[in-house]
Each structure stands twice: as C-alpha cells, then as structure tokens.
Amino acid sequence: MSSRRLAPDAVQPASFAFDKAGKAMVETWIAKYPAGRQASAVIPLLWEAQKQAGGWLPRAAIEHVAEVLGMPNIRVLEVATFYTMFNLEPAGTHFIQLCGTVPCHCMGAQDLKKVLKDKIGAEHHVTADGKFSWLEVECLGACCNAPMVQINDDYYEDLTPESLAKLIDDMAAGKPVKIGPQNGRKASEPKDSIKTLKDAALYDGSAVGSWKKAFDERVAAQKKAKEEAAKAAAEAGKATGGAPAAAPAAPAPAAVKASEPKAQAEPKVKVVAAKAEPKAKAEPKAGSKPKAAPKAKAAPAPSAAEPAPVGDEFKPELLKAARGGKADDLELIWGVGPKLGKMLNGMGVFHFDQIAKWSNENLAWVDQNLGAFKGRAVRDDWIGQSKKLATGWRPENAVGDKPVK
Ligand code: FES
C-alpha cells in the first residue's frame, strides 16, 4: 500500500497558484455548493491542483486550496492524505496504478509487479526521463478482467507480464496503445473455456421462471400419480366386488407401521379393501358421501389425505438378483441413499432401466412399500430420473439438461 506522507522538502515547489483555466474551474466547482458550504468542493479542487501541478500535490498546492476554500490547512491535508487518488510525491507522465487486491493477485498481479520493478524501479520512483512511475493500489473495480493496471485515466486489463512490458515499451516510444483488455476479448465477455456463460439460455430470457415452472410440473405430476393410483385402487376394488381401496378403514393398523414396508403392502391391503363398503370411496369425483361413514370415522387412519393403497396387480417387474451380478448405483437417483438403495435391492430393483419402465401405478406400488421413506419415489420422480440415468447420463457430466457420453 502507498505511503501517505508529503514529499521531501527537496522536491517541494516554493509556491502554487491556480492558473487562469484552473481559476475558472475552481469558480465552477464552488458555485455548485450553497454559500458557506464551499468546503464541499475540496476534492474537485485538489484534483484540479494535482492536474495543474503535473500529477501530484505539493504542499503549496494543498495550502492554496485551503486558502481558496477558507479551510484550515490541516483539514485539507487530511483529505489529501486519505485518498490514494492524490499523489503526494512527483509522478511520471504515465502514472501506473497496479491493482494488487485478491482477484488480481490470484490472476498474476505479482508477476506484473516484477515487470514494473524491472522496467521502472521501486514504487514511487520516477524514471530519469520523467515518463513513468507506479504504485500498488487496492481494487480498481475491474476484477472480471484481472489482472489490470490503470495508467493515468485509462484501464488496461487481462494483462500478462509480456503484454504489460510491451505496453510500457510502446508508451515510452510514443506509439499508440490499445485501452482495455489486452487479450483480444471484448470488455468482460466470457473466455472460450467457460461453457456455462456461453449457454444462450442464460441470455434469451427462457430461463426466467424456469425453476418455478419445474416445481409446478413436479407438484402436478405427483398429484396426478396419486390420483391415478387412487383410481386404480378403486377400480381394483370394484373388480373384486368390494370397496375401493380408499376405504378409510383399510390401512388402519398396518399402515401405522410406516417403517415396515412389507407389513403395510400386500395382502392386508387387498383383503381389507375387498371387505370394505362399496360406497366408501375416497375419490371426490364420486360426488356421493360414503355410507360406510361410521366405520371410516372409527378407524384411526394415519392421514385422510393419503392415497389409496395400490394392489399387487401393479407390482412392477422385480428381479431375484442384479443382471450379470452387477447392480446399477441406485444412489445416483436423487433422494436415494444407502438405506433406500438396499431396500430397493431387497425388493428386487437393481437397475435404472427397470425403474425407467415403470408406470405411475408401478411407482405408486413401490412408493407405498418404502416404509419410512414412503412418498419419496413419487416426490422425486424416480421414473424421470431413471430414464436419464439409463441412457448413461450422469449429473457430473451434464451440460444443460442433455445426456452426455
Ligand atoms: S481486484 Fe483488481 S480490479 Fe478488483
């Protein structure tokens, strides 16, 4: 960081006064503030003084500004020593400010510093021809084009030691130089290696609201799956002459044991469903109130909102063992952990393509047999996930939403 002391007496001029253009500028600035508040113009006046003094603020210039504004010298000195935009020592005609803050540091500012030291010398040193001096400063706000330097009023970005050295050589030779990024990119556009920012969907507006849309679709799919499962169960009940499985009395004691998938799943559901009253339908479309009300109310059903149990006729194709002795890593399915993976294997599910082929009823059948994990298969759209995984798609290789490999 820069030293904030006045330059030695040896380099201090004896006096300073604004020239004609400077005086006009001073009047313009002072006129911008209400009477008695002219001290507010201290920064623009110091800036004018610095420009007139050749890029730095001699003590005499600071005192002159204090006099013009009617301020104590120390108040103006406080301002001049606080802001690094004010040079307190003579500077080169090409005054280079090197950003050394973290992003620029990580991108090679230290290598640029070596170039400056080699070509110009230590910080604050002005070259013998008076053309160059440099200073390390804090972030200049061009981090996305790091590393960078400011030379007088312009930024030079995306620098390498070579491009900075050439920049200095060209300036020394009086050649024109290019302002801005020095690596050919325009402003802070993505570099070629950055794929994500090249995704057109990020800029064409199609991504707006996509998260909510996906969420709504998932909720709708869950609702539909539940309705279809309930409908299927009801039809199964009709076929056997009994009540639809939604009969509230049906799941009673077994269903409470959510951690025991098998106990909840198979025969009990069917048998009880068959015994239930025909009109005890849970389905709203029936429009009729269940006549089996007393029984339904008496049952300590776990949740009135739960879908009806799905009969075994919707049991998906299950395997005795993994094909070729090698099961797919079912934990790649979002929401499936080691415990659930083992549970699926125990059920006879080993492969993504098995799940990918399931109907919604199959999914509902499996879901109701997941014990404490009941609800996950539908909620997390295992079928959709497995369809992708069965193609070889893997999350870590995904670009956008397309299968990779
Ligand atoms: S860190 Fe260097 S410009 Fe921001």
Cα 163 to ligand 1 centre (Å): 18
Q: Is residue 229 part of a domain?
A: no
d(CA 219, CA 241): 33
Q: 42-52 vs 59-69: helix axis angle to the nearest 10?
A: 140
Last residue of a domain, one of 146, 181, 216: 181
Cα 395 to ligand 1 centre (Å): 34
Q: How many CA atoms lie within 13 A of 22 on its CB side?
A: 17
Q: Which two tokens stand for residue 350?
A: 């080993």
Q: Is residue 232 part of a domain?
A: no
Q: Is residue 139 part of a domain?
A: yes
Q: Is residue 74 part of a domain?
A: yes
Ranges of H-type helices in 285-351? 293-298, 338-347
Q: Which CATH number belongs to the domain containing residue 71 in this structure?
A: 1.10.10
Q: Is residue 29 part of a domain?
A: yes
| pLDDT tens, position by position, 197-253 | 666 776 777 777 877 888 889 999 999 999 999 999 888 887 766 555 444 444 433
Do 112 and 46 belong to one domain?
Answer: no
Beta bridge pairs of residue 180:
156
Beta bridge pairs of residue 150:
97, 155
Ligand 1 interacting residues, C-beta cut-off 6 A:
99, 101, 103-104, 139-143, 146, 148
Q: Is residue 87 part of a domain?
A: no
Do 320 and 297 belong to one domain?
Answer: no
The residue among 7, 90, 20 whose CA lies nearest residue 55 is 90
Q: Which residue has the higher pLDDT, 97 or 332?
A: 97
d(CA 9, CA 358): 88
Instruction: Please report, rounded to a whole number, the percentage of residues in the chain having pLDDT higher than 90.
Output: 54
Amino acid (1-letter code) at residue 179: I
Cα 94 to ligand 1 centre (Å): 20
Do 103 and 165 belong to one domain?
Answer: yes
Do 318 and 393 belong to one domain?
Answer: yes
Last residue of a domain, one of 248, 270, 304: 304
Cα 388 to ligand 1 centre (Å): 42
Specify the number of domains making up the chain: 4
Judge contact between 91 and 123, C-beta under 8 A: no
Average pLDDT, the chain: 82
| pLDDT tens, position by position, 295-337 | 444 444 444 455 678 888 889 989 999 999 999 999 888 888 8
| pLDDT tens, position by position, 168-197 | 999 999 999 999 999 998 888 877 666 556
Q: Is residue 125 part of a domain?
A: yes
What number of other Cβ atoms are within 10 A of residue 295's Cβ? 18
Q: Is residue 384 part of a domain?
A: yes
Do 329 and 381 belong to one domain?
Answer: yes
**Could you tell me which residues come within 8 angstroms of residue 63 by beta carbon, excluding any fewer than 6 positions away?**
16, 73, 76
Q: What is the pLDDT of residue 197?
A: 63
Do 376 and 325 belong to one domain?
Answer: yes
Q: Which CATH number belongs to the domain containing residue 135 in this structure?
A: 3.40.30.10
Domain extent for 353 = 314-397
Using most ligand atoms within 8 A of CB, pick from 98, 106, 143, 151 the residue to mutate for ligand 1. Answer: 143
Do 109 and 160 belong to one domain?
Answer: yes
Do 293 and 322 belong to one domain?
Answer: no
Do 98 and 177 belong to one domain?
Answer: yes
Last residue of a domain, one of 82, 117, 139: 82
Q: What is the pLDDT of residue 371?
A: 83
